[in-house]
């Protein structure tokens, strides 16, 4: 990675290309999950443009291959190599296969894939609630499985894509899978996004001696993304009209990928770990949701919560399937 540069002014309108400008990632290897659409594509574009060899970790490898071909035709000379790997975060076996197939160091891991607010309760084959399973547990299993590769890289970075949606709920440890309370798509999404932030806190605590930094981020309000493919859009409209859901100003996909790329590659955040970012800056804490459209809840940065989530997650990803309808 290039030597530290004079700090630049980055903000809400900054694009991923502007963040990566002047950064040299030749010789670095990166994995981006959910890289076949939305900000995942733009994150891959920026990292590869700077010279990183990037693996697109995707559920649909045909879609991923089409993205890789398109990006390959658009990227500049001396861009990094693009490859595609199958990864279904709801399926433990594909996570294990991806980890087992990885060889050599890994310098950058961007945990970008996710699902948002399916209107009905959906469970994975091993009985977990879908959003918590995909957004958190799948990424937890992937990242901890790749820990040796990250440690071998020397100065690796882990990026966890969270959301302002984390303000809808802390992690409810006594009912992660909605077995005792009525399913709600937004509190479910909220707890999974809180878990994304807490994972970064936990990884920062455990892996500092390995030279690994881990941070979480809110990418912004980006309309052009597949994240909302499961959502009931009328329900969303009603939620906004009721005042229960406040949205920050909209961003383009290129702007939405900027904070991910900053945390993955910019020398301006070298050594920063265990933090939550938005608009290319560290977020202020907020003490209540109300109509907040920026900021991070204290419970999403709490070290005790992070330690508890880590222990629970280790148990869950090691357990055999215990599916019950």
Q: Which residues are catalytic?
A: 189
Q: Are 56 and 85 in contact (CB under 8 A)?
A: yes
Instruction: Report how far residue 78's alpha carbon sits from residue 295's, in angstroms, rounded to the nearest whole number.
Output: 38
Instruction: Report how far residue 66's alpha carbon sits from residue 73's, in angstroms, rounded to the nearest whole number.
Output: 11
Instruction: Report how far residue 182's alpha carbon sits from residue 305's, in angstroms, rounded to the nearest whole number.
Output: 23
Both tokens of 196, joined, read 């994304």
* Residue 148: closest CA among 197, 211, 58: 211
Q: Are 151 and 203 in contact (CB under 8 A)?
A: no
Find where tokens 């070290």 sit: 303
Strand order across the beta sheet in which 82-86 lies: 82-86, 53-58, 29-33, 108-111, 157-161, 213-218, 276-278, 281-282
Instruction: Report how far residue 234's alpha carbon sits from residue 40's, in angstroms, rounded to the nearest whole number.
Output: 26
Q: Number of helices (H) and strands (E), helices first, in the chain?
A: 12, 10
Q: What is the β-pairing status of strands 213-218 and 276-278?
A: parallel
Both tokens of 40, joined, read 């995942």
Q: What are phi and psi of 277, to 5 degrees?
A: -120, 155
Find where tokens 């990566």 sit: 20
Instruction: Report how far residue 224's alpha carbon sits from residue 106's, in angstroms, rounded to the nearest whole number.
Output: 29
Find where tokens 């001396």 sit: 78
């Amino acid at each position: 990675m290039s030597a530290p540069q004079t700090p630049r002014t980055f903000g809400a309108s900054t694009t991923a290309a502007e963040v990566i400008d002047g950064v040299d990632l030749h010789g670095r290897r990166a994995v981006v999950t959910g890289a076949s659409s939305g900000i995942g594509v733009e994150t891959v574009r920026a990292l590869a443009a700077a010279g990183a060899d990037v693996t697109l970790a995707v559920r649909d490898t045909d879609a991923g291959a089409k993205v890789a071909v398109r990006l390959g035709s658009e990227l500049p000379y001396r861009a990094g190599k693009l490859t595609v790997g199958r990864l279904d975060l709801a399926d433990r076996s594909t996570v294990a296969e991806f980890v087992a197939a990885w060889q050599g160091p890994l310098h950058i891991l961007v945990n970008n894939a996710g699902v948002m607010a399916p209107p009905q309760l959906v469970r994975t084959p091993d009985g977990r609630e879908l959003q918590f399973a995909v957004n958190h547990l799948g990424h937890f299993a992937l990242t901890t499985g790749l820990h040796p590769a990250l440690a071998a890289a020397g100065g690796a970075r882990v990026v966890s894509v969270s959301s302002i949606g984390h303000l809808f709920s802390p992690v409810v440890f006594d009912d992660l899978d909605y077995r005792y309370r009525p399913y709600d798509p937004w509190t479910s999404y909220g707890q999974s996004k809180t878990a994304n932030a807490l994972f970064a806190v936990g990884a920062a605590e455990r892996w500092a001696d390995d030279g690994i930094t881990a941070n979480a981020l809110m990418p912004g309000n980006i309309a052009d993304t597949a994240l909302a493919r499961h959502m009931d859009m009328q329900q969303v409209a009603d939620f906004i009209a009721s005042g229960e859901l406040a949205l920050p100003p909209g961003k383009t996909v290129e702007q939405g990928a900027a904070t991910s790329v900053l945390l993955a590659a910019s020398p301006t955040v070298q050594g920063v770990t265990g933090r939550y970012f938005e608009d290319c800056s560290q977020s202020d804490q907020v003490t209540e949701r109300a109509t907040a459209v920026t900021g991070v809840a204290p419970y999403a940065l709490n070290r005790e919560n992070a330690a508890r989530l880590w222990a629970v997650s280790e148990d869950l990803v090691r357990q055999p399937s215990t599916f019950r309808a």
